[in-house]
């Protein structure tokens, strides 16, 4: 069975976009791959975090992953910070990366282009830690959004560089971008990705939003003045975004959905999509509350951390041996 790995930072609350673009795919993939999913809390601190909020967000994130359908019997779920080998391999890979490569990475490049100050060294070098996250478990595939693909490409470059220099050590991963639902956009500015860092609360639907409030957000979503329901992201991004949300949650194909709404108005599309979102969130939050009340999270994390640590230690020993770090027999 091939291996797949992914992680998500516990900063802010998970959105509907996170579910459709990533978590839903994890649930589908867990029967097809050896899955490793980690909470990327080391990546979270590249910008300042409130410790209490970070702790609560981490618990919410784990509970929501499980509520969305991840099965700890099939998936290794763990905290990045509890597997110390990630940080150690991250430093080793930083020493095999070049400044120019890191300067071209989107997050750092965008922030410097905007003239932002207070950019940490961690924000500059975090792609090397991300490479360590991936290469540690010999991942064959890394499911990523379109905007994250360059991180996997950098990981491939670093792995090939290391392998060429020291001999075969790392498996070369492939990015896996979902074709449907890969990107859900802001409800108020449908040319921008739906983001958990969005300032306008009407633009984003959180997975822990009150279902009725989420339905209202759908009803107030920006569309256009054309009056035709069709999937055309370039010319009708708002309508296309609503169609994508509907299709992703209802599993009704986009073509069939568009055909069914011919001759109907935007209000009809919003009403039906809003109800689908309401039902989805209601069911999800019911499962979330059951998981929180069960107290199972600690045990699931302990088991996941132990398994990940065993695998990570084997890989790190191999890397250290290649580098000439092992002196004692």
Active site residues: 111, 193, 196
Query: Exposed (0-12), middle (13-18) or buried (19+): which is 103, by Cβ within 10 Å?
Result: exposed
Query: Exposed (0-12), middle (13-18) or buried (19+): which is 161, by Cβ within 10 Å?
Result: middle
Give every CB contact of residue 198 below 8 A, 6+ residues apart in sequence: 186, 204
Interatomic CA distance for residues 295 and 317, integer angstroms: 35
Inter-residue long-range contacts of 61-64, CB under 8 Å, 24+ positions, other chains counted: 61/8, 61/10, 61/14, 62/297, 62/300, 62/301, 63/288, 63/291, 63/292, 63/297, 64/14, 64/23, 64/207, 64/208, 64/284, 64/288
């Amino acid at each position: 069975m091939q291996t797949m790995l992914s992680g998500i930072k516990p900063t802010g609350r998970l959105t509907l976009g996170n579910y459709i673009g990533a978590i839903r795919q994890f649930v589908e993939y867990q029967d097809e791959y050896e899955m490793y999913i980690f909470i990327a809390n080391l990546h979270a601190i590249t910008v300042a975090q409130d410790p209490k909020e970070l702790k609560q967000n981490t618990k919410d994130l784990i509970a929501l992953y499980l509520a969305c359908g991840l099965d700890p019997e099939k998936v290794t779920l763990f905290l990045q910070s509890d597997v110390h080998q990630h940080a150690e391999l991250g430093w080793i890979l930083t020493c095999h990366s070049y400044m120019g490569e890191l300067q071209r990475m989107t997050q750092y490049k965008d922030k410097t282009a905007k003239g932002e100050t207070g950019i940490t060294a961690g924000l500059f070098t975090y792609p090397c830690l991300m490479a360590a996250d991936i290469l540690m478990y010999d991942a064959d595939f890394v499911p990523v959004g379109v905007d994250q693909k360059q991180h996997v490409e950098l990981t491939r470059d670093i792995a090939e560089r290391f392998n060429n220099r020291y001999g075969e050590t790392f498996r070369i991963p492939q990015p896996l971008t979902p074709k449907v639902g890969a990107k859900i956009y802001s409800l108020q500015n449908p040319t921008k990705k739906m983001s958990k860092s969005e300032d306008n609360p009407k633009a984003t639907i959180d997975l822990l939003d009150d279902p009725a409030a989420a339905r209202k957000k759908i009803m107030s979503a920006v569309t256009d003045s054309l009056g035709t329901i069709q999937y055309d992201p370039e010319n009708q991004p708002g309508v296309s975004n609503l169609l994508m949300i509907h299709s992703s949650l209802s599993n009704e194909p986009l073509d069939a959905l568009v055909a069914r709404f011919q001759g109907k108005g935007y209000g009809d599309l919003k009403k039906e999509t809003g109800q689908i979102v309401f039902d989805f969130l209601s069911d999800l939050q019911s499962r979330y509350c059951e998981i929180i009340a069960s107290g199972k999270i600690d045990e699931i994390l302990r088991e996941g951390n132990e398994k990940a640590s065993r695998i990570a230690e084997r890989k790190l020993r191999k890397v250290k041996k290649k580098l000439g770090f092992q002196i004692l027999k």
